Structure 1
Amino acid sequence: MSSSDTDQPVLIAGAGPTGMTAALALNARGVPATILEADPADRDRAGSRAIYVHGSTLRTLERVHPGLGKKQVEAGLVWPTRRTMWRGKDVFKRTYDNPGGDGEFPHFTSLPQVKTEQFMHEALEEAGIDIHWEAGVESVESTPDGVHVETTDGQEWDAPYLIGADGGGSQVRKEIGAEFHGDESENSFIIVDVETLDGNTIEEDPLPFERLFHYDAPAADGRNVMLVPFTGGWRLDVQCLGDDDPEEVAGEEKMREIVADVMGEEYTDNIKWTSTYKFLQVISDKFVDEHRRVLLAGEAAHLLAPFGARGMNSCVADADEAASAITVALQAQTRGVHDHEIDRYASRRKQAAEYNIDAAGQALEYLEDRDPVTVLRKEVAASLADHFEVAGEYLDDAPYGPHDAPPTSAGGNY
């Protein structure tokens, strides 16, 4: 809108995957960026968290910083087999000769989020983008001409735009008067990271190199469990039963018992991280402020259950589109064009978030057995799986929700 706009860096609140992607995406478009992060530089980033990176996300990261997507592919792995069991019996198994596909990037790669963030930090250093640690956003004042930010370290910042990528508890969201609306899962879920044995690669471990979903697993006292390999270990997801005490199930004694029964006794000493969740399905009532100078992205704008791995992947898409909208808005010669570009970002990403929440919600409802018809359908499919592959494939697919990306993106971004 003015020559001074391009002289000041765009501010980004949050140094997670969303914020770092936004900074790299702005830099790739010739727009300077600065990240403000509330945590210290040596913060604890324990846990595998978002382990499944979609191919569309890899392509986005490669586009905004050449080499970034390829590093993740080299560090990650692609499991070749999908397998589903029903109460101790195989109902579906498929192994792919070329599970990654034939493109430049595989359909997905599986690696712990800490590795993704490590590669992003390296990319920021290469691009000369600063992170100001222990500088969380404290207050935000926006005007038609820009934004004024005060941070917890006592500094004040003026910028043409602020991207709020500061997570589910976003101070930026609160400062612009936006609120989350939605609900949370009825059941609790436990996520456990288990390292491979004796420094093995996944392929060397005695467990099959596959993604396994087990309905009503006898080894887990009738709970649903999922076992997914990633670089360096295994993700074990356990769905609590309605009368479970989640803290008791997630406790050391019970979790060692479940790991021993599901994976093998030798894995009980390799439990590295355990966390208990009720998954939120919420969305902000607005994605930009009234002056169109503050944009919310990632978990500052929406939270969703992890089924289908739409979480971090949709956050990266938010960040890239926010950078694109800001870049065009900076060059706008009229207020109307400026406002249109920012509003278009809000509209597109809100629609994408609604689609992703609905998709994750379908999987969540399926797993929580809220609908008697769905329960019956699962029972019938399990009884027919030996004779009709389509019945087993239904049981294999349904826990992850629809495979489609939101209709807002021609590039397949989430």
Structure 2
Amino acid sequence: MSPACSVDDLPVTDTDVLIVGAGPTGLMAALVLNRRGVPAVVIDRKSGPTRESRALAVQARTMEVYDQLGLADTVLAKANAALRIQVGGSPRGIGPNLSRLQHGYTRFPGIQIFEQSRNEELLVGALTADGGYIRWRHRLLDLQDRTSAPDGRVEALLEGPDGALLRVRARWCIGADGASSAVRRELNLPFEGRTDDATFWVADVRDVRGVPDEAVNIRPGKRTFVAVFPLGPGGHIRLLGLAATDTITQDEALATVEAEFGLELGAVEWFSTYRVHHRVSAKFRVGSIFLAGDAAHVHSPVGGQGMNTGLQDAHNLAMLLADVAQHRVDARALDRYERERRPVALTLVNVTDRAFTIIGRRGPSAALIRNGIGVLAFGAFPVLTRTPLGARLAGYIGQYRIRYRYTRGGTPLPEWARDPVVGLRMPPTADNQAAFGAMTWQLHTYGAGTTARPEVPEWIDGPRDFGADPRGRLRTDRLYLVRPDHFVAASIPLRDNTVDPAQLSAALTAHRIAYG
């Protein structure tokens, strides 16, 4: 910049939300905001969507989000389904049948193997079809939050593909720019956790013989273990393995798999090595700047949770920002993002960290432990799948069992929060899932019949009755307040089909619903 030119002389773009990062998390946030009518600017250093497959699994809860956006059918048509988890190479296929365990709890049981690159392609296509725009090859140089001042904004200095500088002023900023997040660095936030000592490798391979179809296959061995993910028909798979040494070549890794597990491998499309990080940002929000996805948390890829957690961070946050931008909830409700999503990340990181304490170790003793767990699994899985615990665990894998806490721990629950479904996403029954396409707060009843509309803001839809829940999860004597992200915000008692006004008022106040 010449001495005669100052930052104030640069061209300025004003928007509601600046999104730094156009991976799955940033793209999901941009698409939801666009559908809600909230202007956003999306930037990314890359020249376009990710080409490598990277993350693979799309879990049931993410499919529900895609369904709300009208994208689920596209994923189902292009994905490869993994309906069960198999431990070992036995054709008997020990391990939980996820599809069976999740049936009735979600409309999308099982795991859809749909690579990160294809998720990005899907989201970019939907965003641009809606008139959205991504500024590729734009780098964040500086970020300042001046929103505490009168008429203040978040101000960003960007460098474009030709080296030209420009400014963006936004009401909020979302840092969705990955584990090496420039936004997190600008906020000077610690990325707390550790890096695992072991080296892992990943390979996409074709024409593999000896692997099951429609299953995620976990194989413990004497020197290593591998996880096999089905990418497509004809033995097209992703291999994820533990390296026997700190450095390993493609030939060494695949030779070990062939020798130890008897797999016949074909052409290799992609190979890489990496260390596993287990880290969570100290905060997910500082003022008007938020972190989401890998910028906020990173962990083991085993279990297929990472990309899904980032997509759901974005869905939660974008719906919340849209509600505040449209004066539907008070700005104080922004505190809820970190309160809800950071515990999800902490739990996930702790679980995967413990798992890697067992499976991510080398040597004979570690192999004995891994194989012992495999033997225990052989006996435990058939029993587990016949118990309620099996369905509950399947719900956590599918991420539709995530629960948000709306009240402080240690205090008595108000009546509107005592129903077990409060804090969970609304379970599917009848055609209630189709209603979420409206992306607004809603009032539902289930078998209550005609209920008079209570005194609520006009933009809250309902009440709508969907008939009695055949599984008994939803009560006939309750009016349910449901958020735009599908989560049950409150269960209000009905007396003679009339809403309890005191409990409704308390729930609306707790959720910072704005009147007027």
Question: What is the aligned partner in structure 1 of residue 250 from structure 2?
Answer: 252
Question: What is the aligned partner in structure 2 of residue 4 from structure 1?
Answer: none
CA drift of 1:139 comes to: 0.8
Q: Which one has the largest radius of gyration?
A: 2
CA drift of 1:105 comes to: 2.5
CA drift of 1:81 comes to: 4.5
Structure 2 SS opposite 1:78: strand
1:139 aligns with 2:137: no
For the structure 1 residues 132 and 374, does the alpha-carbon distance in structure 2 shift closer, same or farther, using more than 3 Å as the test?
same
Question: What is the aligned partner in structure 2 of residue 93 from structure 1?
Answer: 94
Output one character per residue of 1:302-344: Cα deviation in whole Å (capped at 9) or x when no partner.
111123222001101110111122122224599xx31x22221
Q: Structure 2 residue aligned with 1:157, among 160, 168, 171? A: 168
1:407 aligns with 2:403: yes
Q: Amino acid of the residue matched to residue 212 of structure 2?
A: P
Structure 1 SS opposite 2:355: helix
1:214-253 → structure 2 map (5 Å cutoff): 214-217=219-222, 222-231=223-232, 233-241=236-244, 244-246=245-247, 248=248, 251-253=249-251
Could you tell me whether the CA contact under 8 Å between 1:303 and 1:311 is conserved in 2? yes
Could you tell me whether the CA contact under 8 Å between 1:328 and 1:341 is conserved in 2? no
For the structure 1 residues 329 and 386, does the alpha-carbon distance in structure 2 shift closer, same or farther, using more than 3 Å as the test?
closer
1:106-125 → structure 2 map (5 Å cutoff): 106-125=109-128
Using the alignment, how far apart are the partners of 1:11 and 1:325 within structure 2?
15
Output one character per residue of 1:210-232: Cα deviation in whole Å (capped at 9) or x when no partner.
32211125xxxx21112121236
Higher relative contact order (CA 8 A, sep 6+): 1
For the structure 1 residues 39 and 276, does the alpha-carbon distance in structure 2 shift closer, same or farther, using more than 3 Å as the test?
same
For the structure 1 residues 263 and 34, does the alpha-carbon distance in structure 2 shift closer, same or farther, using more than 3 Å as the test?
farther
For the structure 1 residues 82 and 176, does the alpha-carbon distance in structure 2 shift closer, same or farther, using more than 3 Å as the test?
closer
Q: Amino acid of the residue matched to residue 282 of structure 2?
A: D
CA drift of 1:78 comes to: 1.6
RMSD of equivalent CA atoms: 3.4
Q: Amino acid of the residue matched to residue 211 of structure 1?
A: V
1:167-186 → structure 2 map (5 Å cutoff): 167-186=178-197
Structure 2 SS opposite 1:129: coil
Using the alignment, how far apart are the partners of 2:258 and 2:369 within structure 1?
31
Q: Structure 2 residue aligned with 1:45, among 46, 51, 56? A: 51
Question: What is the aligned partner in structure 2 of residue 20 from structure 1?
Answer: 27
User: Structure 2, unaligned stretches of length 5 or more?
Assistant: 1-13, 405-422, 427-484, 488-516
Between the aligned residues of both structures, percent identity stands at: 25
CA drift of 1:62 comes to: 2.4
1:253-402 → structure 2 map (5 Å cutoff): 253-261=251-259, 262=261, 264-265=263-264, 267-268=265-266, 270-289=267-286, 292-332=287-327, 337-338=330-331, 340-368=332-360
Structure 1 SS opposite 2:184: helix
Q: Structure 2 residue aligned with 1:10, among 17, 42, 62? A: 17
Using the alignment, how far apart are the partners of 1:159 and 1:385 within structure 2?
52
User: Structure 1, unaligned stretches of length 5 or more?
Assistant: 1-6, 198-204
Aligned length: 373
CA drift of 1:20 comes to: 0.3
CA drift of 1:16 comes to: 0.3
For the structure 1 residues 388 and 171, does the alpha-carbon distance in structure 2 shift closer, same or farther, using more than 3 Å as the test?
closer
CA drift of 1:366 comes to: 2.7
Q: Point out the structure with the larger helix share.
A: 1
Q: Amino acid of the residue matched to residue 27 of structure 1?
A: N
Could you tell me whether the CA contact under 8 Å between 2:103 and 2:109 is conserved in 1? yes
Could you tell me whether the CA contact under 8 Å between 2:83 and 2:98 is conserved in 1? yes
Question: What is the aligned partner in structure 1 of residue 74 from structure 2?
Answer: 71
Using the alignment, how far apart are the partners of 2:47 and 2:380 within structure 1?
55
Using the alignment, how far apart are the partners of 1:385 and 1:302 within structure 2?
29
Question: What is the aligned partner in structure 2 of residue 208 from structure 1?
Answer: 212
Report the TM-score, using the length of structure 1 for normalisation.
0.79
Structure 2 SS opposite 1:187: strand
Using the alignment, how far apart are the partners of 1:323 and 1:129 within structure 2?
15
Output one character per residue of 1:128-179: Cα deviation in whole Å (capped at 9) or x when no partner.
1100011121111112232111112211111111111111111111112222
Structure 2 SS opposite 1:208: coil
Using the alignment, how far apart are the partners of 1:23 and 1:286 within structure 2?
22
Q: Amino acid of the residue matched to residue 160 of structure 1?
A: R
Structure 2 SS opposite 1:161: strand
Could you tell me whether the CA contact under 8 Å between 1:229 and 1:235 is conserved in 2? yes
Output one character per residue of 1:9-47: Cα deviation in whole Å (capped at 9) or x when no partner.
421111100000000111222212221111113x6622x
For the structure 1 residues 382 and 13, does the alpha-carbon distance in structure 2 shift closer, same or farther, using more than 3 Å as the test?
closer
Question: What is the aligned partner in structure 1 of residue 41 from structure 2?
Answer: 34
Could you tell me whether the CA contact under 8 Å between 2:95 and 2:378 is conserved in 1? no
